[in-house]
């Protein structure tokens, strides 16, 4: 497994500029260049996601091997999160699947370097914007903020058309080391409570809460989710949304209702909590 930093070491940089200056040393390589493929994979969002998904599946297995007794001391803190509704096992079992998804992951992580830009329409891409000769940039937007989405900008859109649609759109660069660091914090935080984790990607996971519910009598699941979200935010300065449901499908649908930066679940079959 590639080395993943244990802490979030990205430095916060104050900036009042409307654009992010990208080092002139980083020139676009022609496909004929012998370094082209290496640079492509080093800077490819899709390659990063697929690689990190595999890495974190291995990481979860590593954590299980290191904790074969499945001892989770931090579960003791959950005894304070009691809920009389969970005296009924039926209630808890209906909400035993938890889906965690970081909000605008690439934007949130990259924005830690540009705190003054929070609240603005933001896109993460290699290029800054349209070219000096007046032609449009065809660099792909990996992720965009909710403010940008309100202007019609979408993930996967090219920078040029996006800037024409939203002239105030600010393009910020990738932070590959930051993505790894934040993803590791996400997985480590959940692993303090349970290892019934299914890695979906670097910023998303499914968790079976059955063993946790059985181990902690009367646990308030919603309060537990809020505690998790608070821990993740305090450690990464990035928000996460959580969906709860009786199965994977409903848990993911609940997450869509929870976004951004919230918790949502189902009580009974379809009634919203």
> Can you list the alpha helix ranges (DSSP code H) found in the chain?
36-42, 45-66, 89-93, 105-111, 146-149, 159-165, 176-191, 210-215, 221-236, 248-258
Who's near 252: CB < 8 A, 6+ residues apart? 99, 243, 245
Look up the pTM and report it. Answer: 0.77
* 73-128 pLDDT, tens digit each: 898 888 777 654 454 444 455 678 999 999 999 999 999 999 999 999 999 988 66
With a pLDDT cut of 70, the percent of the chain lying above it is 70
Architecture of domain 45-105+176-272: 2-Layer Sandwich (3.30)
Question: What pLDDT score does 78 carry?
Answer: 86
Average pLDDT, integer, range 138-144: 87
Asked whether residue 27 carries a pLDDT value surpassing 70, the answer given is: no
Dist. CA 138–CA 120, nearest whole Å: 22
Sketch the domain layout of the chain as residue ranges: 45-105+176-272, 114-172
Question: What pLDDT score does 108 carry?
Answer: 96
Tell me which of 204, 226, 227, 231 is the catalytic residue.
204
* 212-231 pLDDT, tens digit each: 988 888 788 888 999 999 99
Q: Which residue has the higher pLDDT, 256 or 26?
A: 256
Active site residue 69: no
Question: The domain 114-172: what is its CATH number?
Answer: 3.40.1170.60
Who's near 143: CB < 8 A, 6+ residues apart? 104, 105, 106, 107, 123, 124, 155
**Residue positions counted in the chain:** 273
């Amino acid at each position: 497994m590639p080395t993943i930093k244990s802490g979030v070491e990205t430095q916060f940089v104050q900036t009042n500029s409307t654009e992010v200056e990208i080092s002139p040393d980083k020139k676009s390589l022609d496909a004929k260049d012998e370094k082209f493929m290496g640079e492509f994979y080093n800077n490819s969002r899709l390659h990063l996601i697929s690689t990190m998904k595999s890495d974190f599946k291995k990481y979860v297995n590593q954590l299980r091997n290191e904790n074969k007794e499945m001892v989770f001391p931090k579960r003791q803190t959950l005894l304070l999160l009691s809920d009389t509704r969970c005296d009924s096992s039926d209630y808890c079992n209906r909400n035993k699947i938890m889906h965690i998804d970081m909000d605008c992951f690439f934007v949130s992580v990259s924005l830690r370097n540009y705190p003054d830009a929070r609240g603005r329409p933001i896109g993460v891409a290699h290029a800054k914007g349209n070219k000096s000769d007046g032609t449009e940039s065809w660099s792909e937007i990996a992720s965009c903020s909710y403010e940008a989405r309100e202007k019609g900008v979408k993930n996967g859109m090219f920078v040029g058309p996006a800037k024409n649609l939203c002239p105030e759109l600010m393009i910020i660069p990738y932070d590959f080391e930051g993505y790894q660091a934040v993803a590791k914090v996400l997985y480590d935080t959940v692993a303090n409570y349970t290892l019934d984790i299914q890695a979906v990607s670097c910023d998303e996971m499914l968790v079976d809460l059955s063993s946790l519910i059985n181990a902690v009598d009367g646990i308030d699941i919603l309060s537990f989710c809020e505690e998790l979200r608070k821990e993740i935010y305090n450690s990464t300065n990035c928000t996460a949304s959580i969906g709860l449901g009786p199965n994977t499908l409903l848990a993911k649908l609940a997450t869509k209702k929870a976004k951004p930066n919230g918790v949502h679940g189902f009580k009974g079959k379809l009634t919203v909590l």
